[in-house]
């Protein structure tokens, strides 16, 4: 059984927060989809043609403020979607096509200007938790398997329990190495995070598109749910 949950303290501090989740299994992630690559390239091109003001757009500002509230500096440690948007708004920029699942994450982050992330469940564990760090947890940054860090006490982190392995630091800043999605990945949980007005509807819209794309481009079997103050956890396979 897989359990995914958000600590109640997160919803107390951020009452509009919603996390749309997609559980996908039997993923076929080994062959690169040319159609998906074209969609991603088109999204990157459109972002450069129609740039948003990163200092004024509410979809960026609301996350910057959320990061400040738990003690993180978004200028030094920007939310992943903000960093991605800043990157693709530069004319002529291309982002690498890593694999189909990562392309789906990037496409939806760029298109909807919100955090979309995912992890290899079979490399993680059976209880995945978004909550406040004690500071004893362990984080191995993506791309640096020989480095081990500890989050700051009070930092919002996405962890595996009971091991304390951090899958993502500073809520949605940087992913961990051990649960990265590769061509060999067969089962994932993908998260769509939204704050602010109409957050549940926005999370549901992006979540459902993610589900459809995982079915189309990865032949995945998908299940979706919504984490909210009234449903802070979801159990799969119970």
| Backbone phi and psi for residue 224, each to the nearest 5 degrees, phi listed first | -130, 160
CA 114, distance to chain mean position in Å, is: 9
Specify burial of residue 101 (Cβ count, 10 A radius: 0-12, 13-18, 19+). Answer: buried
CA atoms within 13 A on the CB side of 178: 17
Is residue 95 within a helix (H) or strand (E), and if so which, with residue range?
A: none
Q: For residue 95, is it within any domain?
A: yes
Number of domains in the chain: 1
Question: For 55-69, what is each residue's pLDDT tens digit?
Answer: 999 999 999 999 999
Q: What is the CATH number of the domain that holds 104?
A: 3.50.40.10
The answer on pLDDT for 155 being more than 90 is: yes
Average pLDDT over residues 198-223: 98
| Backbone phi and psi for residue 166, each to the nearest 5 degrees, phi listed first | -90, 125
Q: For residue 27, is it within any domain?
A: yes
| Backbone phi and psi for residue 233, each to the nearest 5 degrees, phi listed first | -140, 160
Output the average pLDDT for the chain. Answer: 96
Question: For 120-134, what is each residue's pLDDT tens digit?
Answer: 999 999 999 999 999
Looking at the DSSP bridge assignments, the partners of residue 52 are none
Average pLDDT over residues 81-110: 95
Residue % of the chain over a pLDDT of 70: 100
Domain of 129, in residue numbers: 2-230
Question: For 86-98, what is each residue's pLDDT tens digit?
Answer: 999 998 888 999 9
The answer on pLDDT for 220 being more than 80 is: yes
pLDDT at 207: 98
Q: For residue 236, is it within any domain?
A: no
Tokens of 31: 């062959």
pLDDT at 80: 95
pLDDT at 237: 85
pLDDT at 73: 97
- Do β-strands 187-194 and 18-25 pair in parallel, antiparallel, or remain unpaired? antiparallel
Q: For residue 237, is it within any domain?
A: no
Round to whole Å and give the CA distance between 202 and 198: 6
Whether 125 contacts 164, CB under 8 Å = no
The answer on pLDDT for 238 being more than 70 is: no
pLDDT at 91: 85
Q: For residue 56, is it within any domain?
A: yes
Average pLDDT over residues 21-47: 96
Output the pTM of the full model: 0.96
CA 197, 198, 200, 202 dihedral sign is negative
Round to whole Å and give the CA distance between 83 and 149: 22
């Amino acid at each position: 059984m897989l359990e995914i949950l958000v600590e109640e303290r997160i919803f107390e501090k951020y009452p509009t927060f919603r996390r749309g989740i997609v559980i996908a299994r039997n993923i076929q992630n080994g062959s690169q989809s040319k159609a998906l690559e074209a969609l991603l390239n088109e999204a990157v091109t459109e972002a450069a043609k129609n740039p948003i003001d990163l200092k004024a757009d509410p979809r960026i500002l609301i996350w910057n403020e959320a990061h400040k509230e738990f003690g993180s500096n978004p200028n030094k440690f920007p939310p992943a979607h903000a960093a991605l948007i800043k990157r693709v708004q530069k004319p002529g920029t291309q982002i690498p096509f890593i694999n189909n699942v990562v392309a789906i994450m990037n496409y939806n982050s760029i298109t909807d200007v919100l955090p979309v992330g995912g992890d290899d469940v079979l490399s993680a564990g059976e209880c995945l938790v978004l909550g406040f760090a004690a500071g004893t947890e362990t984080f191995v940054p993506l791309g640096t398997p020989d480095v081990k860090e500890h989050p700051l006490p009070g930092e919002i982190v996405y962890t595996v329990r009971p091991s304390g392995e951090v899958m993502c630091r500073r809520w949605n800043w940087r992913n961990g190495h051990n649960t990265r999605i590769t061509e060999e990945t067969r089962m994932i949980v993908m998260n769509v995070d939204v704050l602010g007005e109409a957050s549940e509807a926005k999370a549901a819209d992006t979540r459902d598109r993610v589900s459809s794309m995982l079915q189309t481009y990865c032949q995945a079997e998908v299940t979706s749910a919504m984490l909210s103050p009234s449903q802070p956890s979801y159990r799969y396979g119970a």
